[in-house]
Structure 1
Amino acid sequence: MNAKSEYLRSPRGFRWWLIRVVMVTVAIIVAAVAYLLVVGASAKSELIESNPAPGRLVDVGGYKMHINCMGEGSPTVLMEAGAGDFSVTWSAVQPKLSQTTRVCSYDRSGFGWSEPNAEQARTSQTMVQELETLLANANIEDELVLVGHSFGGLNVRLFADRHLDKVVGVVLVDALHEDVSPEMQRINSEAQLALVEELRVVSILQSIGLLALSPEEIPEQGLPLEAMAQYRAILATGSQVDTMIAELSAIEDSLTYARSLDLKHFDNIPVAVLTATHRNQPSLSEDQNKQMAKAWNKMQIAQSKLSSESYFVSTSKSGHYIQLEQPELVIRTINKLVTRARYKG
């Protein structure tokens, strides 16, 4: 047996050898993480530079929000995305619709190109107040046709309730309603909790730059090519994921707030309700999906009674994202309300 082997067999020799191995291993790991952070930061910068905001950033009091307006004419169509989404979700609708009138999509704070507002909880009450400030500071003062998808539908109803004097139409695209049944609320809460846990992992990957290094791994969302590149860039670089977690975690508070207001009937302001009969959330069982479809349809019928002049369209040709799967249907419906507003005016 040689001297080296004899040294390693001794307690003191083995300890020092083990410490050296651990130190070298730690050094390698630290160097690898540091390299990953540097490369990830560089990849983030490249994605940000190659995907600038398509609209303009407006100061709303210490932070900026993004609003993207196309076209000319009145009324202005203002579009709000669903939970966890931002303005690109309207990319199959907005360009063509802008041939008729001015159309604006915007990003709630912390989403898309909008800077986060860390001082306020991500509830509908906060979002409506932020939107009011955004429109005022962006000098958008004409009459509005409001369009909201999913959770965004609840937000535009809350906004309309405060501004009935300037709203001339509301389009609800498979929109959430505050009167959620207890069973649907339970199923939704379970699904949201599971999604939030998944997003926490995604947030870690985003923070160290892994998403920016391989944005093509972010799943397709049914968006047009340019919008999909923008979606991936935002998800890989910005505050999107953390804001999604905050918004989803506060949805129950948003629903409670909406119920507390006893939202008014819109009288003769036209309301168009578009709803998809096909519901298939992979995270839910077949029986849960059936229960969700039944409860969701009940909510859509309730929303069609918000106005004395309402339109109800049910489609089996698309899922929840009607604006991406049947954009022409959404465009026709919005144009109907724009034409009606001009005729009345």
Structure 2
Amino acid sequence: MRLCLFILLLGCSAFAHAELGLAKVKGLNIEYEIIGQGQPVIFLEAGGSAGLSDWDPVVEGFSKLGTVIRYSRLGNGNSQKLRKNYSSEEYAQEALLLLKELKVDEPVIYVAHSYGAYIARVFAAAYPDKISALMLIEPASEHDVDIMREIDLAQAEKEIAQIKLDDMANGMSNQYLDFWAKRPLPDYPEIPDVPVTVIASVKRYKNPAALFFSDEGREKWGKLHTQWAESFPRGQVVLTNKSYHYPQFDEPEMVIHALQRLIERTPH
């Protein structure tokens, strides 16, 4: 049934509002949607506790560029509900199993937001033959805590402690339980030499609620991702001062254009 749906969608117009499907991964239901047709295959990874709706403003535009697959990780959206502490390694493995279940054998362009970008990086390191390019939007980083501590160590420790409490209350891991809590802190994993685009916001907040959103934090955030993106031979960074943490909602046309340019840099 899933394969039939996939073939049907590939034969449809460049954009069609497909019925949502449920794929079995590790015996559990994962919500997914396939839109568009042809190459490349664009795989979307939502942020934090978000589901596939994280991509609503851009999915139609993306679908004009190739076949788009978006999904909700276990515990999110309409996927099977879970309350457990996940690691990005587990999420990356489940993304791979989902692609296999959907009969997607070719390398994908992996587009990911926030915490999802950390999962995408783990995926790229673990399964280098399954990825042709990366686009990371406001990516969570193991060095976020470094930024906070450089600004004000005592206040940073208070804010990090609160994030830990929020994670544990939620029962689902995100950046604290996945990698901020590890000692020593993990560093960027080795990922293949693929085209990379990073979109990062440097927009300043009038009343920043945390160190990370202070003017100094925004400046350091922009430098962090610029340096990482430019470390790749085919890396590019897009810094925006028009969006906060959700450029795909605040500047959808910019995000669609960035993906189009990434595709143009990706061998087919």
TM-score scaled by structure 1? 0.63
Compared CA separation, residues 283 and 111, structure 1 to 2 (3 A): farther
Are positions 1:147 and 2:111 aligned together? Answer: yes
Distance 1:297 1:190 in 2: 24
**1:332 alignment partner in structure 2:** 257
| Residue from 31, 45, 48 that aligns with 1:66 | 31
> Higher relative contact order by CA 8 Å / sep ≥ 6: 1 or 2?
1
- Equivalent in the alignment of 1:192: 163
> How far, CA to CA, are the matches of 1:274 and 1:288 in structure 2?
16
Choose the corresponding residue for 2:89, options 121, 125, 129: 125
Contact 2:47 2:113 in 1 (8 A): yes
Per mean C-alpha deviation after superposition, the further-off stretch among 178-187 and 159-168 is 178-187
Number of residue pairs the alignment of both structures matches: 243
- Aligned-residue sequence identity (percent) comes to 23
What amino acid is aligned across from residue 128 of structure 1 in structure 2? Answer: A
Do the aligned residues in 2 keep the contact of 1:146 with 1:171 (CA within 8 Å)?
A: yes
SS in 2 for 1:93: helix
Show the counterpart of 2:10.
Answer: none
Change (3 A) 1:261 1:135: farther
1:312 aligns with 2:237: yes
Cα deviation digits, residues 106-150 of structure 1 (max 9, x gap): 1110000111355x5322121111111111112122221111111
CA distance in 1, matches of 2:254, 2:47: 18
Change (3 A) 1:89 1:254: same
Task: Confirm or deny that 1:266 pairs with 2:192.
Answer: yes
Deviation of the 1:63 alpha carbon: 1.0
2:21 to 51, 56, 63: 56
Contact 1:158 1:258 in 2 (8 A): no
Deviations 1:312-335 (A, max 9, x none): 111111111000000111111111
When residues 288 and 160 of structure 1 are mapped into structure 2, their CA distance, relative to the original with a 3 A threshold, is closer
Please say if 1:246 is aligned against 2:172.
Answer: yes
Does 2:248 match 1:323? yes
Kindly provide the CA deviation profile for residues 1-59 of structure 1, in whole angstroms up to 9, marking residues without a partner as x: xxxxxxxxxxxxxxxxxxxxxxxxxxxxxxxxxxxxxxxxxxxxxxxxxxxx9521101
For 1:257 and 1:171, the matched residues in 2 are separated by 28
SS in 1 for 2:139: coil
Over 3 Å counting, the alpha-carbon distance change for 1:95 and 1:159 in structure 2 is same
Q: Which has the higher strand share?
A: 2
Amino acid at match of 1:113: N
Q: Residues 306 and 67 from structure 1, CA distance in 2 versus in 1: closer, same or farther, beyond 3 angstroms?
A: farther
Aligned partner of 1:163 in structure 2 is 127
Aligned ranges 1:85-104 → 2 under 5 Å: 85-104=50-69
> Which of 37, 42, 53 is the aligned partner of 1:77?
42
Give distance in 2, aligned partners of 1:286 and 1:139.
44
User: What CA deviation, in whole Å up to 9, does each residue of 1:46-101 have, x standing for no partner?
Assistant: xxxxxxx9521101122111111100111211111111212101000011210221
Separation in 2, partners of 1:322, 1:158: 22
Among 303, 323, 336, which residue is 2:228 paired with? 303
Larger Rg computed on CA atoms: 1
Q: Distance in 2 between matches of 1:192 and 1:281?
A: 22
Distance 2:38 2:146 in 1: 44
The alpha carbon displacement at 1:160 in A equals 0.9
Residue of structure 2 equivalent to 1:215: none
- Counterpart CA distance in 1 for 2:30 and 2:184 is 24
Tell me which amino acid in the other structure corresponds to 1:78: F
Q: Is the 8 A contact 2:163 2:176 kept in 1?
A: no
* Structure number having the greater helix percentage: 1
The question of 1:111 aligning with 2:76 is answered yes
Q: Does 1:176 align with 2:101?
A: no
Letter in 2 for 1:123: S
Residues 134-181 of structure 1, C-alpha deviations (whole Å, 9 max, x = no match) = 111121222211111111111101101122223111011111122234
Q: Do the aligned partners of 1:147 and 1:170 also contact (CA within 8 Å) in 2?
A: yes
Structure 1 segments unaligned to the other structure (5+ residues): 1-52, 201-241
| Residues 205 and 214 in structure 2, CA contact (< 8 A), matched pair in contact too | yes
Tell me, what secondary structure is at the counterpart of 1:112? coil
Once the two structures are superposed, what CA deviation does each residue of 1:218-274 show, in whole Å capped at 9, x if it has no partner? xxxxxxxxxxxxxxxxxxxxxxxx4xx4224x634334499547511532x110111
- Local SS of the residue matching 1:114: coil
Unaligned stretches of 5+ residues in structure 2 = 1-17, 150-155
User: Aligned residue for 1:42?
Assistant: none
